[in-house]
Structure 1
């Protein structure tokens, strides 16, 4: 890997590393600037180290959620995969570097990173100080290391190519339960937010996370074929038919059977006054309900229980594709007998994912803003709010569009820009940016002493690594020269074979 970057430096070839290229809705395998050669790391699929007692695992960039699940199952290891809705084929390392999250016990996946090895733009290798002093084991166990906390420099940055990462896994608990509840109307949203904030502060680590999904978001999963062109009255009627309230809450609980019994009672006391039809269900019970529903001639019930069963598998650390049909819900045919790949299959999807303070009025105002703006661009306001600790929500709003239509593509990007600008005026900004929204970083208040820029200029004066990724773009290398030089470099070094055109679909 070092040889790749040294050759790129010598020939001023701009390179853009990807792990698996399955960054759905944020750019997939596409670089954040033109004129780049993809450094495809997807074949680096080794699980380099695993401690079955302490639950720390060291992985390469191409190791996926599904691969780790199979590995842990084969080992009989009682630890959970840090699952997300992106599916089993996505990179663990890349998700953590992008500060991804889930609703398993360790919600913030970046916070589970304990150690990193990265190749810098000049080809040199960064390893933690503890590791270089001979403490490789404690380096894998202690995320703060010694001295400056340098691991954080490689999250959401182009400062180096991370070639291995150690993650602390959550131990599989004795019991797992999900709590489902409904909010009858939007008027219940503000008091529900206040109750959720209290629950997060009261129950601490027993709660993995809490989701709130609006009616449109839930129906897009349970009745996608009936969602097109509905008026508000028709939407409410469809909700009544499928027993989907104005908002649906989904909370996860982890612990021993005794602690979960107490936590369940606390959650019921806190959320019961604002929620209705509260249901507590374990993964095993969800499987049983789906098995029964699948044999009954009741329209939509099997789909509803199937979604519940798949969601419970996710919170139980079993990666699956339950969230991916969203990308296909405008009519793109989903593949049969092969994994879903929204980029390959031509799905149109952008994510707007702002951070919103966990206060009732803030959330109501945000929902009003998103619900008002998206229809102006022909996009349904599908809104999810996910707790990030006890004081903040991250909202995910999928902007779905027909990728075969240039007008629809333009409208989706215009919708994102309108949401970004309106949210920015209120202080609601995304926790991550896609390749097309990196442009907004240039609008930040200028600062001559900006540390990120100074570090980049020092480590990568030629600007060859991940140009434009959470940073200003340097001068573009002419594409013709770029590929000529890359070809010459590839012929001259075996290691340069890791530079690959990859898949940019």
Structure 2
């Protein structure tokens, strides 16, 4: 960042007065204004223009309260982030220009764990990697659901963005409770029974008494969550990951219906996935520039990969309390997938139950963000630092083969119009709902690719919405693509915002519709 690009505060300005107060509240070392640090925080996996004048690093809830009260007093906007690994949705770049970054990464304490009741209470700086290591050290029989993103992403941040995971708790936000939230005014609220002194059921009973407030603070700018309880899953004695490939789209849509029935009756208790060939290819290698020399990927090269893979892969895991029940589940799944291009195969039992489907985080899927890069992925991937071009487009659809086919036809066609490969996955989010996730991967160092990818995202989100398939997560890339609503919900949220955040200092510019 050039010195002329930074918004240098004028002595006595609201920002300078706020910075002085924040230094007193947090300590000089935790109010960061160094240009290199600000430049890194302003970088995402697609083009952004927002500038950050400072980064605040509070250590606890009381310091978060102080930060927000100072922001209110001086009218200086702040934008909270937890792990800052929201790759593909905007990373840690604020929605509005000039917002001070409220980095909660120092708040990384595991507050409470109950082995019998299977829950874990954490602060927002706790990552999936940290939680897994902590539970493993405790020799716990429980695990936290993992995600396809970075192991260094925040549990709290991912849950609040309503991320999806592997294993039995695919809908992560459905399995949390007892939020501690600092409002933009600096007041603290706790959700569910946690607001009652000495409430023993606070970490195990989500609804509490009266209106349920938890959802107000998910995908919103109404408060800063400083603590959350996660319900854990218990490792099963029997676990088998399964895999098969499909080379006929007509068979795939039939398989979607068959597997939905198995999810509804409990045979498939966790998440499972349908990946197209391009997604699988992008995880195993980078774009073959040496042999192809141009983009997008020509059909003949894709056909060569399909010879050994097929058009789609279906994968997931079966779990059961013993091998006898597990064998029955295997037979039911094999019958449902009879006729696949490659018969369903079951992996050997993982050693000590160590599996992505039982809480072991992995960076393997991050490779797809390097698909169009001309340099190899580093050992420690950082998509922002490495200037990967990467945008997610995720929509929800009814879990039927007919709806999956209709949505996939759109997502397969639109990226091609913009010279990008359609990297597609269908994720079984619940027995009734599928996510269709499209990854737009490109090279930010190639001239014009940022603009092309943004245009592709807008066109794809628009056409999917016109067909009835709407976004599940709206990152920075969705600021110009958020769909209109037909009811008064947006107005209700605006009124709530005006009451809870009278000066509009928390995450201004964030879309909440």
Cα shift at 1:131: 2.5
Change (3 A) 1:13 1:470: same
1:271 is matched with which residue? Answer: 337
Aligned ranges 1:291-310 → 2 under 5 Å: none
Larger relative contact order (CA 8 Å, sep ≥ 6): 1
Cα shift at 1:236: 1.5
Cα shift at 1:276: 3.2
Kept in 1, the 8 Å contact 2:178–2:192? The answer is no
SS at match of 1:137: coil
Kept in 1, the 8 Å contact 2:282–2:367? The answer is no
Kept in 2, the 8 Å contact 1:178–1:281? The answer is yes
SS at match of 1:324: helix
Cα shift at 1:406: 4.7
Rounded to whole Å, the distance in 1 between the matches of 2:377 and 2:337 is 40
2:362 is matched with which residue? Answer: 320
Rounded to whole Å, the distance in 1 between the matches of 2:159 and 2:210 is 22
SS at match of 1:58: strand
- Per-residue CA deviation, residues 228-250 of structure 1 (Å, 9 max, x unaligned), is 5543233112221xx21111100
2:473 is matched with which residue? Answer: 432
Rounded to whole Å, the distance in 2 between the matches of 1:448 and 1:236 is 47
Unaligned runs of 5+ in 1: 288-308, 473-505
The question of 1:2 aligning with 2:65 is answered yes
2:162 aligned residue (90, 93, 99): 99
1:231 is matched with which residue? Answer: 298
- The alignment of Structure 1 onto Structure 2 pairs a total of residues equal to 444
Change (3 A) 1:215 1:95: same
The question of 1:261 aligning with 2:320 is answered no
1:79 aligned residue (136, 142, 146): 142
2:309 is matched with which residue? Answer: 244
Rounded to whole Å, the distance in 2 between the matches of 1:335 and 1:376 is 27
Aligned ranges 1:80-159 → 2 under 5 Å: 80-128=143-191, 130-159=193-222
- Per-residue CA deviation, residues 188-232 of structure 1 (Å, 9 max, x unaligned), is 22211111211111225x431221111111122234354855432
Q: After alignment, is 361-370 or 346-355 more displaced?
A: 361-370
Kept in 2, the 8 Å contact 1:283–1:313? The answer is no
TM-score, L = length of structure 1: 0.84
Aligned ranges 1:125-204 → 2 under 5 Å: 125-128=188-191, 130-203=193-266
SS at match of 1:42: coil
Rounded to whole Å, the distance in 2 between the matches of 1:208 and 1:129 is 26
Q: After alignment, is 318-327 or 430-439 more displaced?
A: 430-439
RMSD value, Cα: 2.1
Rounded to whole Å, the distance in 2 between the matches of 1:79 and 1:143 is 19
2:417 is matched with which residue? Answer: 376
More helix by share: 1
Rounded to whole Å, the distance in 2 between the matches of 1:431 and 1:43 is 29
Rounded to whole Å, the distance in 2 between the matches of 1:282 and 1:34 is 51
Change (3 A) 1:209 1:58: same
Unaligned runs of 5+ in 2: 1-63
Cα shift at 1:64: 0.3
Q: After alignment, is 6-15 or 128-137 more displaced?
A: 128-137
Kept in 1, the 8 Å contact 2:428–2:435? The answer is yes
Cα shift at 1:335: 5.6
2:277 aligned residue (201, 209, 215): 215
Kept in 1, the 8 Å contact 2:79–2:101? The answer is yes
1:362 is matched with which residue? Answer: 403
